[in-house]
Amino acid sequence: MRFLYPCDPFDKKKPGEAYEEDFLAAQAAGLSCSLYSAEDFEQGEFRPNPSFSEGDEIIYRGWMLTPDNYQKLQNAIEAKGARALTTSAQYQHCHYLPEWYSLCEDFTPKTVFLSKDADFSSSLLTLGWSAYFVKDYVKSLTTSRGSIAENVAEVFEIVALIEKFRGQIEGGVCVREYENLLPDTEERYFVFNHIAYAGDGVVPKIVRIIASRIRSPFFSVDIVHNSDGQPRLIELGDGQVSDKKKWPADRFSEIFIG
Ligand SMILES: Nc1ncnc2c1ncn2[C@@H]1O[C@H](COP(=O)(O)OP(=O)(O)O)[C@@H](O)[C@H]1O
Ligand SMILES: [Mg+2]
């Protein structure tokens, strides 16, 4: 097992600022770590340092990638004689909401998937939902406007704002039924090799059930409680590109040691 982190763009011997804490904790825990330049990789050059050994299993920890770019990274890893722990199909399975939705429908707000250019007013009105939560396949609108729409016109407004601020709608549009959630109760869990881990405290049953359903070696599970005190699944993420949130860096490294 070897971790691959983006380096500092100005000093290729150092981890990028956003990953420095994780990198140092992983090294302190005795995990093998390499750095690579994400900027050079975009130009077609891939020189991990230290270089990979034949057969190394690579766990990437870096920026979110489109599935196409993740596939390119997987190819580059394989070209060095190593292999990616997570295949690009598995990456997409947790990174894109519609991919995991049907496996977890009983735990997560109802969702319809639409193409961004569709005139979806009629399909939304027949749902009879009181309000909507709008995102693309990956993220919600994180500016102050937020992702909650009271009506169909606001759904269109949010889609346009996501496109404006992020440059594109990734995949397509997810319109979710609004639920009365308590955002402060959000907790992130990680599942590695089918075992679920909590940053602090116990792993709830809902997370253990999700861990048994999802066929990816490394992913995150975000749980929020609703106003009735029920845990709800808000999103899955590929573990390689999920922020560790409240997890202490040394605790995060421990999940790979077992
Ligand atoms: N269906 C929903 N109804 C109400 N609030 C929601 C809904 N879905 C998400 N939220 C709130 O918005 C927050 C961010 O949602 P999330 O899907 O995780 O977006 P992002 O991908 O941008 O992190 C959640 O923590 C939750 O509090
Ligand atoms: Mg989230």
pTM assigned to the model: 0.97
Q: Are residues 81 and 97 in the same domain?
A: no
Of 105, 104, 89, 98, whose CA–CA distance to 216 is shortest? Answer: 89
Mean pLDDT of the chain: 97
Atom of ligand 1 nearest to the CA of 237: 21
For residue 135, the surrounding DSSP H or E stretch is strand 132-136
Last residue of a domain, one of 138, 156, 177: 177
Ligand nearest to the CA of 147: 1
What length does the chain have? 258
Among 178, 181, 227, which is best to mutate for testing ligand 1, by the most ligand atoms less than 8 A from CB? Answer: 181
Ligand nearest to the CA of 188: 2
Q: Is a pLDDT exceeding 90 seen at residue 51?
A: yes
Last residue of a domain, one of 160, 177, 194: 177
Atom of ligand 1 nearest to the CA of 182: 27
The one-letter amino acid at 202: V
Q: Is a pLDDT exceeding 90 seen at residue 144?
A: no
Over the range 123-132, which residues count as b (16 or more CB within 10 Å of their CB) and which as e?
Answer: ebeeeebeeb
Q: In this structure, what CATH number is given to the domain that contains residue 213?
A: 3.30.470
Average pLDDT over residues 160-183: 97
- State pLDDT tens for residues 69-106: 999 999 999 999 999 999 999 999 999 999 999 999 99
Domain that holds residue 116: 110-177
Q: How many domains does the chain have?
A: 3
Sorting pLDDT into bands at 50, 70 and 90, what band is 185? very high
Q: Are residues 12 and 77 in the same domain?
A: yes
- State pLDDT tens for residues 203-224: 999 999 999 999 999 999 999 9
Q: In this structure, what CATH number is given to the domain that contains residue 120?
A: 3.30.1490
Task: Report pLDDT for 230.
Answer: 98
